């Protein structure tokens, strides 16, 4: 069995498996087989060294990883799984507290409160001690308490480090929250780790038993551990000191979850007798992709030097593509995905599109829907299903159609207006008795002497909501769509409400992205604009749901893609302020994490990699020109190409395409202007070329009827040219994609 195990490993993996005495740091690059090494190391300990499975502890970061490791191990060391302690930090600590928690006052029948339970408990705590949730948002307090626990801070320790009035409020809430948890015989997720550390600190005899039991300990994804988790590792390995941690500082991308990259370096400080092993052979990616990744990460300072290499073929050059805007960027992705799928070499399920922020998925989703190409959004919420987007769309729907009781119920108390669940039930019952819709009931209660049997406070709250919506309905008849957008956000208090959320920035970005959608219809008359806008949103949502269970191209954020791999990867938004994100531009440590995030994205690709950016992008409700991402400057030019193969026309769902094109045409050109422009001018302005800066007008190199060729759209015929400021607009009918309107200074057109 010894020979059989070791022959399955490369020399570096074999050394890491055989190094079983004392502390061990295994620095494992992406695609280097770290899961394989951990699994074989456990099998080696059991089958060769003779260690009982009962004496082995293996910590993973997800239950999925633990299941996969157990499946592999069952083949290598059959029957050993039931005695090995293997799982996440949280699951392992929950088991320890069930058995030993009474030693520190935790009943073995404790319940674990999730985020929703925690919020309800904090709401009660705020009521009992007189904290105003409007001034001190509960989610922000919950986040502060969670962060304190991840840093081993009790309420007393947190008080010692507090520096602001908000910190003082958190201390009061933290103390009362802990009392309420105890009264409920409950712990939260952070407590599972923190209470276990305290258990070991306060009960040395309990710690000693676990130290003696776990002769060998292994921890995966060590770069993602926080301070509490690292303390647990040190406690448990304190006797035998056979602790092996596997990680890669270059893949540390979760500082916002309190993960501390420094734990990798602190391990070497705290265990000076450790041995270090590097897994540098990559089994996943082509040599070209690895060279691109290595060039990007080389500028980071906080890292362990690792030189990735592979015996895989060099592979295709990485495609660097510049689109004119995010719409064309999405179109290029969809067309190329369909072209590769049609070739038979790749399935759509082999491809993934990676992006920095959730808001970027909106344009991608719409493009996949428009061309009828299946896709799936992994580990995230579809753009039009995100809470804040659905809330705001519900306001628009109710304004457009007050009989829409579903939308009314969604927003009647969002943000909070003092309308309780019981009051809503009573109002609904009163409406049913009189055969009224809920909106009609609100209207009647507001304008007649016949009132529902509610308190004066509840009636006043309903009346306030009714008058708010009625005012917005009147505004919708006079204001532009964007003006109405602003009125809803301000008058409803929804924008102020979002700013109080701990994830306010991302939610506000999504609202800004929705505003970008509304902007497409802003030039239409008020009623038509609202109607077309809602039709467009409904169309996307409906078609999207039809694709729910179908396989297709994966749309996923860079953070969520960690641990995954795909034959083909597209990374979009390779621009300054997008990737790297604008919040990181002035912070060197955050900039290093952005570079690691890009590195993680690149190394998800096995065979083909596309890096795309837009010359102009709409962000946060405004359109701006972004510089290319600095990460692109770290890539050697001989590793890249700027051209794509010519693509066949994408298949489309005819009905979807017609509605989409009609709505877009109406949004781009007001009806009164239609007689001034030829119908061909309704095609969207796009280009995959690089802008040529000049103060002089660009000379019209083409005339109507010329045969031309475009590097992306293929062959076509010039339909018309029109002078614009310092440029010319050229409308071309392409064989593959139909009409496109391009700017001459951007387009890379050649005469055919």
Return binding residues for ATP: 28-35
Residue pair 261/299 in contact (Cβ under 8 Å)? The answer is no
Which position among 188, 190, 191, 220 bears the catalytic label? 220
Q: Is 718 helix (H, G, I), strand (E, B) or coil?
A: strand
Identify the helix (H) or strand (E) that includes residue 498: helix 494-499
Give the DSSP H or E segment for 247.
strand 243-247
Cis peptide before 480 (omega within 30 of 0): no
- Residue 522's φ and ψ, nearest 5 degrees, are -70, -25
Tell me, yes or no, if 220 is annotated catalytic: yes
Query: DSSP secondary-structure letter at 737?
Result: T
Selecting among 18, 35, 661, 665, the annotated active-site residue is: 35
35 tagged catalytic: yes
> Rounded to whole angstroms, how far apart are CA atoms 419 and 409?
11
Asked whether the beta carbons of 73 and 42 are under 8 A apart, the reply is yes
> Which helix (DSSP H) or strand (DSSP E) does residue 605 occupy?
strand 605-614
Q: Is 604 marked active-site?
A: yes
Asked whether 287 and 37 are in contact (CB, 8 A), the reply is: no
Pull the structure tokens for residue 334.
């969809």
Residue in 604, 613, 616, 630 annotated catalytic? 604
Return the structure tokens found at 143: 């986040």
Q: What are phi and psi of 323, to 5 degrees?
A: -100, 165
Q: Active-site residue among 12, 13, 14, 34? A: 34
Q: Which residues pair with 111 in a beta bridge?
A: 186
Identify the bridge partners of residue 28 per DSSP, sorted by sequence position.
279
Short-list 210, 282, 244, 221, CA closest to 44: 244
CB atoms near residue 189 (< 10 Å): 17
The full DSSP string for 477-490 is: TTS-HHHHHHHHHH
Among residues 118, 153, 251, 554, the one annotated as catalytic is: 251
DSSP collapsed to 3 states, 286-325: CHHHHHHHHHHHCCCCCCCCCCCECCCCCCCCEEEEEECC
CA distance 595 to 602: 11
SS3 content of the chain, % helix, strand, coil (to 5): 50, 15, 35
CA 129 vs CA 122, 145, 175, 176, 661: distances in Å = 10, 17, 11, 8, 57
For residue 277, list its beta bridge partners. Answer: 26
397 is catalytic: no
Place of tokens 């969002």: 414
700 backbone φψ class: left, alpha, beta (φ>0; ψ -120 to 50):
beta
Q: Is 387 a catalytic residue?
A: no
DSSP alpha helix (H) spans, 184-215:
189-202, 204-213
- Joined tokens for residue 752: 């055919």
Task: Please report, in angstroms and rounded to a whole number, the separation of the first and last CA atoms in the chain.
Answer: 67
Pairing of strands 375-377, 318-323: unpaired
Known binding residues: 28-35
Q: What is residue 355's DSSP assignment?
A: E
Listed in sequence order, the residues at least 6 apart from 518 whose beta carbon sits closer than 8 Å to its beta carbon are: 481, 482, 485, 533
Torsion of CA 246, 249, 252, 258, to 10 degrees: 80
Structure tokens at 446: 């507001």
Is 487 part of the annotated catalytic residue set?
no
- Residue 676 to residues 396, 679, 680, Cα–Cα distance (Å): 32, 10, 12
Helix axes 361-370, 654-668, angle to 10 degrees: 130
Rounded Cα distance between 163 and 169, Å, is: 11
* Beta bridge partners of residue 707, listed in sequence order: 717
**Catalytic hit among 100, 190, 191, 221:** 221
Sequence-ordered alpha helix ranges (H) in 611-720: 654-668
Which residues lie across from 529 on neighbouring strands? none
Q: Are 219 and 59 in contact (CB under 8 A)?
A: yes
List residues with catalytic annotation.
34-35, 220-221, 251, 604
């Amino acid at each position: 069995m010894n020979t059989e195990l070791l022959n399955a490993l490369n020399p570096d993996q074999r050394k890491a498996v055989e190094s079983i005495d004392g502390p061990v740091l295994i620095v494992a690059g992406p695609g280097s087989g770290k899961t394989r090494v951990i699994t074989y190391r456990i099998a080696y300990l059991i089958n060769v060294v003779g260690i009982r499975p009962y004496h082995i502890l293996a910590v993973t970061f997800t239950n999925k990883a633990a299941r996969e490791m157990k499946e592999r191990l069952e083949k290598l060391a059959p029957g050993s799984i039931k005695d090995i302690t293997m799982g996440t930090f949280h699951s392992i600590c929950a088991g320890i507290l069930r058995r030993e928690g009474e030693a520190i006052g935790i009943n073995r029948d404790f319940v674990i409160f999730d985020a929703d339970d925690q919020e309800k408990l904090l709401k009660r705590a705020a009521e009992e001690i007189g904290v105003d949730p409007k001034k001190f948002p509960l989610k922000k307090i919950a986040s502060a308490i969670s962060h304190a626990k991840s840093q081993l801070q009790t309420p007393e320790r947190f008080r010692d480090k507090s520096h602001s009035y908000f910190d003082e409020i958190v201390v009061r809430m933290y103390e009362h929250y802990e009392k309420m948890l105890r009264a409920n015989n409950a712990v939260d997720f952070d407590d599972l780790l923190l209470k276990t550390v305290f258990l070991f600190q306060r009960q040395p005899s309990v710690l000693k038993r676990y130290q003696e039991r776990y002769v060998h300990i292994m921890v995966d994804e060590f770069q993602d551990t926080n301070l509490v988790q690292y303390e647990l590792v040190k406690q448990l390995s304190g006797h035998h000191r056979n602790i092996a941690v596997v990680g890669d500082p270059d893949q540390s991308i979760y500082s916002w979850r309190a993960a501390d990259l420094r734990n990798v370096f602190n391990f070497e400080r705290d265990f000076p007798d450790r041995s270090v092993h590097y897994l540098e052979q990559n089994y996943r990616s082509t040599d070209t992709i690895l060279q691109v990744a290595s060039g990007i990460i080389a500028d980071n300072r906080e890292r362990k030097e690792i030189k990735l290499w592979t015996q895989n073929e060099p592979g295709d050059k990485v495609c660097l593509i510049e689109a004119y805007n995010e719409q064309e960027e999405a179109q290029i992705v969809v067309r190329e995905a369909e072209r590769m799928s049609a070739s038979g070499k790749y399935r759509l399920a082999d491809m993934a599109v990676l992006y920095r922020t959730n808001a970027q998925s909106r344009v991608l989703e719409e493009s996949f829907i428009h061309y009828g190409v299946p896709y799936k959004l992994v580990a995230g919420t579809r753009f039009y299903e995100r809470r804040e987007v659905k809330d705001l769309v519900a306001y628009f729907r109710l304004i457009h159609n007050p009989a829409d009781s579903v939308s009314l119920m969604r927003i009647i108390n969002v943000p909070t207006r003092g309308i309780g669940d019981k009051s809503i039930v009573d109002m609904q019952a009163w409406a049913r008795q009189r055969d009224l819709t809920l909106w009609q009931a609100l209207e009647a209660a507001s304008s007649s002497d016949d009132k529902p049997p509610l308190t004066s406070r509840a009636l006043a709250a309903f009346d306030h909501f009714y008058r708010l919506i009625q005012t917005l309905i009147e505004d919708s008849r006079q204001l532009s769509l964007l003006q109405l957008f602003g009125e809803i956000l301000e008058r409803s208090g929804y924008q102020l409400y979002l700013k109080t959320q701990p994830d306010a920035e991302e939610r506000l970005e999504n609202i800004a992205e929705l505003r970008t959608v509304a902007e497409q219809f802003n030039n239409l008359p008020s009623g038509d604009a609202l109607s077309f806008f809602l039709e467009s949103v409904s169309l996307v949502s409906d078609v999207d749901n039809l694709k729910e269970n179908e396989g297709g191209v994966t749309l996923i954020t860079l953070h969520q893609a960690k641990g995954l791999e795909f034959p083909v990867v597209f990374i979009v938004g390779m621009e300054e302020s997008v990737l790297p994100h604008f919040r990181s531009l002035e912070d060197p440590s955050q900039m290093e994490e952005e570079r690691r995030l890009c590195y993680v994205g690149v190394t998800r690709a096995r065979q083909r990699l596309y890096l795309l950016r837009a010359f102009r992008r709409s962000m946060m409700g405004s359109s701006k020109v972004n510089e290319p991402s600095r990460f692109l400057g770290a890539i050697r030019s001989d590793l890249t190409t700027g051209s794509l193969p010519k693509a066949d026309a994408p298949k489309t769902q005819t009905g979807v395409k017609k509605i989409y094109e009609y709505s877009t045409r109406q949004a781009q050109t007001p009806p009164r202007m239609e007689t001034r422009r030829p119908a061909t001018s309704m095609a969207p302005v796009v280009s995959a070329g690089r802008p040529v800066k000049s103060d002089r007008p660009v000379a019209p190199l083409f005339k109507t009827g010329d045969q031309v060729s475009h590097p992306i759209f293929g062959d076509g015929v010039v339909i018309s040219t029109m002078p614009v400021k310092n440029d010319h607009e050229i409308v071309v009918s392409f064989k593959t994609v139909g009409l496109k309107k391009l700017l001459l200074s951007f387009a890379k057109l050649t005469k055919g």
